[in-house]
Amino acid sequence: MAQACFIIGATHSGAGKTTLTLGIMAALVRRGYRVQPFKCGPDFIDPTLHETVTGRVSYTLDLHMMGADACRDLFFERAETADICVLEGVMGLFDGGSASTAALAKVLQVPVFLIVDAQSSAESNGAQLKGFEEFDAELTIGGVIFNRIGSPRHRQLIEQTVRQHCRTKIVGWVMRDHAFTIAERHLGLHMGSEHPLADDDRRRLEQTIEEHLDLPAMLELAVPPRRPERSRGRKGRPPVGARPTMRIGVAEDEAFCFYYRQNFELLIAAGFDIVRFSPLHDRHLPEGVALLYFGGGYPELHAAALSANEEMRSAVRERFAAGLPIYGECGGFMYLCRQLVDQSGQLHQMTDIFPFRTTMGTRLRRLGYRTVELQQDCLLGRSGDRLFGHEFHYSDLDAGQSVDETPPIVTCYRLDNNSSEGYSIGSALGSYVHLHFANTPKVLIHLRRQLERDQPCAVE
């Protein structure tokens, strides 16, 4: 069981949370520790960066999508095989309400190391820290790291104020001239598989952490995980599959890379076998699969190549015509539509399962948690069932092409923002919502039964 666990939080987004978290993880690995990474919030990208520096799968812990019990169960199970658990927070410490970094820290009973961006202020940083200390008496702030310090005098002014007015221990100072670049694009940082942190930057980052953070003090202030008895065996523990293994084809490559890794583990525990394929590079679909699963990602960046792979697009259409169940989320849903218009205005043919066109914009179109209530029986449940997920995309859906379709298109989802979504046609189901299954393991039971019956997901 891990001997130290802590969350890296920040006063606001852009304070250096991801960069310093990666540096702390890398420095601890370099010292010989087995570091288990986690990410607070619905992010797909940061966990892949964690994996590049720790060599371990980084898991999402999201109180809104997963619930407190599922988060506890996953956290403590993974802590059993690690020396140190490091969690990266989301946004500012208290941003996100019931799903904030602070809320997760209290649920897991672990301390927060708070990053304060000291740029453009001096003594006021003490006032800011004091406010964070007093805001929630139930939260443990184990230490503070001041980032982007401009000079020794700048540090001295902050240090004097903090020591006079605050109780939190200072565990690090990072100078402003320590610049580390991680490539970004419209959905955030580049994925870990794209190696956005160059080797030289990584070494300089490790060295900066070693020189300017007091890692021994941080480990001393951190605590071993304390698992409440009431959390054992609750939601999030996957149903155990006693039946023979059933194969699921999962699209995974540069275009389709947004998956919650625990969802795969839940599927495997339910008796499914994951078979990966690439809509970008492969010419044929895997044989013997009971379902095709297209996750989110960046189809808009690879639209020309996806369109040019006519053999794969034809194979998907042929399997659909034969009644094979197909499920797509966000980018995967875009690929399952008729056409995709990229940001340059270029139109690309997709698989034409759904008779829709998606058009990329330059501004964010939808962002937020989504609670889904099923309005119809479908591949993922019965009418009235609730599912939990997140929506984040720059594209718009033109559903005006759906008139007089055969088979008819059914709208299955009612979202908590009073919109309707989740489209079912024949054996296919597609949506912009990324679902996490940990809080609703019955989804996998229903999915298994549906596939065993070999029934299409659309309602007659």
70 part of a folded domain:
yes
Q: Is the pLDDT of residue 345 over 80?
A: yes
Choice between 246 and 238, residue whose per-residue pLDDT is larger: 246
239 part of a folded domain:
no
Q: Is the pLDDT of residue 402 over 90?
A: no
119: burial class by Cβ within 10 Å (0-12, 13-18, 19+)? middle
CATH at residue 349 = 3.40.50.880
Residues 95 and 188 in one domain: yes
Residues 83 and 181 in one domain: yes
Q: What is the mean pLDDT of residues 8-14?
A: 96
Average pLDDT, the chain: 90
236 part of a folded domain:
no
159 part of a folded domain:
yes
Q: Could you tell me the residue range of the domain that residue 165 belongs to?
A: 4-231
Q: Is the pLDDT of residue 452 over 70?
A: yes
Residues 77 and 104 in one domain: yes
Choice between 293 and 202, residue whose per-residue pLDDT is larger: 293
Q: What is the mean pLDDT of residues 9-30?
A: 95
Residue-wise pLDDT for 145-187, tens only, equals: 999 999 999 999 999 999 999 999 999 999 986 556 565 544 5
Is residue 85 within 8 A of residue 202, CB to CB? The reply is: no
Residues 286 and 175 in one domain: no
Residues 218 and 257 in one domain: no
458 part of a folded domain:
no
Residues 97 and 223 in one domain: yes
Beta strands at 256-258 and 291-294: parallel, antiparallel or unpaired? unpaired
Rounded-to-integer distance, Cα 152 and Cα 175, Å: 9
CATH at residue 206 = 3.40.50.300
Positions marked catalytic: 330
| Residue 245 pLDDT level (bands cut at 50, 70, 90) | confident
241 part of a folded domain:
no
371: Cβ contacts below 8 Å, ≥ 6 apart: 386, 387, 388, 415, 416
Residues 153 and 189 in one domain: yes
Backbone phi, psi, residue 16, to 5°: 105, 20
Rounded-to-integer distance, Cα 220 and Cα 124, Å: 28
| Residue 240 pLDDT level (bands cut at 50, 70, 90) | low
Residues 222 and 166 in one domain: yes
Residues 279 and 224 in one domain: no
Residues 223 and 259 in one domain: no
Residues 39 and 128 in one domain: yes
HSE-up of residue 176 (Cα within 13 Å, Cβ side): 12
Residues 269 and 198 in one domain: no
Rounded-to-integer distance, Cα 362 and Cα 342, Å: 10
Angle between helices 17-30 and 199-212 (to 10 degrees): 80
299 part of a folded domain:
yes
**Count of the separate structural domains present in the chain:** 2
459 part of a folded domain:
no
The amino acid present at 50, given as its one-letter code, is: H
